[in-house]
Amino acid sequence: MIEAQSLTKRYGDKVAVDDLSFSVEPGKITGFLGPNGAGKTTTMRLILGLDRPTKGTVTVIAMRPMNPNSLVETVKDQDVLAYAAAVAKAAGTAAPKALASVAPRIPNDAIRHDSLTETAEVLAAFTNVYAVSGVEAPMRDAVKKLLPQWAQDVATVDSAGNLIVAAGPEKDTVVFIAHMDEIGFTVQKIDRDGTITLANRGGFFRSLWEGQPAIMHLAKSAPMIGVFLPRKTGATKQPPDMRAWFGMDSAALVARGVAVGTTLTGVKSASRLASSRFTARSIDDRAGCTSFILALRHIDPKQLTRKTYFVFSTREEVGLEGARAFAHDHPRGVHRVYAVDTFVSSDSPLENQRFAYAPLGAGAVARALDNSSVTPPDELARLLKIVRAANIPFQYGTTNGGNDGSEYVRFGTVDVPVAWPLRYAHSPAEVIDLADVLALGNVVATLATTP
């Protein structure tokens, strides 16, 4: 809105604008016409603040957002109040004294009723949980809630925070392990104006998070929504540092409980795509945890012929720390470990498919070779024989990344990583096929019950 009242501008004895009053309403097209020398340019200069009026006033009611023309245009609450007061004054009404707080509602359309419903329900429940590496308690609680009753009755938590379900007689021990944590950030520094400098928690490309909504996880109060600030210039592929802003200065942040080390992540919500595709953030490794739930629901512990551990591990993204602790506590007698984690697949439109190609929708996949382990040929052949005899869709290939099972190799244990193909790993929009996760659950159940 623009409003001029008795606007006058003189240059010496010459009157350029003489007692001009008008209003320009928002959302309307307003013409500004006049012959040469009528004062149009001078009036525009007065509106823009390039010249000062000799008499009268001109009011422009507007706000200047941060990060204009981006996905995270942002305004300060005090600017909104000032804007509302100006609008109220111009309209001759009372100005609001405070802003109403409106929590964003993020729809969850992950659930529909078909043969993949159970898989989607469990995976959506897990991917919608925030649990940055080192702060896995919310995910641990979510896992406990979805375990079958027999598994809840025997579940324990070790000193590293790993959730452990163990069953079967004390012989020929096997371990299935999948991690609960997700990538994210921690607060590294808080500037006086409230700008927060962040440190990575896990390995990923920072550029994927620029200009995205952020959520701060606080121990004693509700999470705060903010933004990951985009760079002003993009001379390099990756930003030299990552920053976030939550609409308040450092004193207000500290008063809310923010401190160095506080965790934050991107806002997320699970969704089904078409018939069987599924997108969310932190599918790595919530899909592995989902496969355990599906398997445990179909396993009768009394039918297990050997000691079998299901380990929901911690701090995998920062160095396999939970797996290392479990291996240290159970170093002997483990015959085989099945690390269940992502197969980072090149099955995407712009990637070269000569390496790490495992098509989405073609089944679970063996990580025969990755950056931390090599599956012995005879073990790969055994695995393929078992799953093919059970008519489970299955693939095998090589990919990047490490896996929790590699922490057992030093003790002479065979590491046999199994996985599901994932597109766009460690990004805000990971994509999988639910049928692959269902197949993985069947693989886990079959391996656990095969003598």
Domains annotated on the chain, with CATH: 2-91 (3.40.50.300), 117-182+268-449 (3.40.630.10), 184-231+240-266 (2.40.30.40)
Under a CB-based contact definition with an 8 Å cutoff, are residues 147 and 137 in contact?
Answer: no
Mean pLDDT along residues 32-56: 89
Under a CB-based contact definition with an 8 Å cutoff, are residues 225 and 256 in contact?
Answer: no
Task: Tell me the pLDDT band of 93, cut-offs 50, 70 and 90.
Answer: confident
The pair of three-digit structure tokens given for residue 27, joined into one six-digit string? 């959302």
* pLDDT of 110 strictly over 60: no
* pLDDT of 102 strictly over 60: no
More confidently predicted of 31 and 136: 136
Quote the Cα angle for 59-64-66, to 5°. Answer: 170
* pLDDT of 299 strictly over 90: yes
Under a CB-based contact definition with an 8 Å cutoff, are residues 243 and 195 in contact?
Answer: yes
pLDDT in tens, 422-449: 999 999 999 999 999 999 999 999 999 9
pLDDT in tens, 325-357: 999 999 888 999 999 999 999 999 989 999 999
pLDDT in tens, 207-242: 999 989 999 999 888 999 999 998 887 788 899 899
Please give the helix or strand (H or E) that residue 242 lies within, else none. strand 242-245
Q: Residues of the chain with pLDDT > 90: what percent?
A: 72
Nearest of 131, 89, 69 to residue 5 by alpha carbon = 89
In the block, which residue shows the tokens 């992540």? Answer: 265
Nearest of 451, 112, 62 to residue 273 by alpha carbon = 112
pLDDT in tens, 346-390: 999 989 999 999 999 999 999 999 999 999 999 999 999 999 999
Report CA 83 to chain centroid distance, whole Å: 33
Mean pLDDT along residues 61-72: 73
* pLDDT of 106 strictly over 70: no
Summarize the chain as % helix, strand, coil (round to 5).
25, 25, 45
The pair of three-digit structure tokens given for residue 41, joined into one six-digit string? 């340019």
* pLDDT of 73 strictly over 90: no
- pLDDT, position 94: 83
Contacts of 417 (CB under 8 A, 6+ apart): 338, 339, 340, 341, 366, 367, 370, 373, 375, 403, 405
- pLDDT, position 85: 80
- pLDDT, position 23: 84
- pLDDT, position 294: 98
The string of DSSP codes covering 264-332 is EEE----EEETTTEEEES-HHHHHHHHHHHHHHTT--GGG--S-EEEEEES--TTTSHHHHHHHHHS-S
pLDDT in tens, 136-154: 999 999 999 999 999 999 9
Under a CB-based contact definition with an 8 Å cutoff, are residues 87 and 61 in contact?
Answer: yes
Q: Residues of the chain with pLDDT > 70: what percent?
A: 96
Contacts of 432 (CB under 8 A, 6+ apart): 277, 278, 279, 283, 287, 360, 420, 421, 422, 423
Task: Tell me the pLDDT band of 123, cut-offs 50, 70 and 90.
Answer: very high
Dihedral angle over CA of 272, 273, 274, 276, nearest 10: -60
Mean pLDDT along residues 49-63: 85
Average pLDDT value over all residues in the chain: 91
Check: pTM over 0.85? Answer yes or no: no
Q: Rounded to an integer, what distance in angstroms lies between the CA atom of residue 309 and that of residue 173?
A: 8
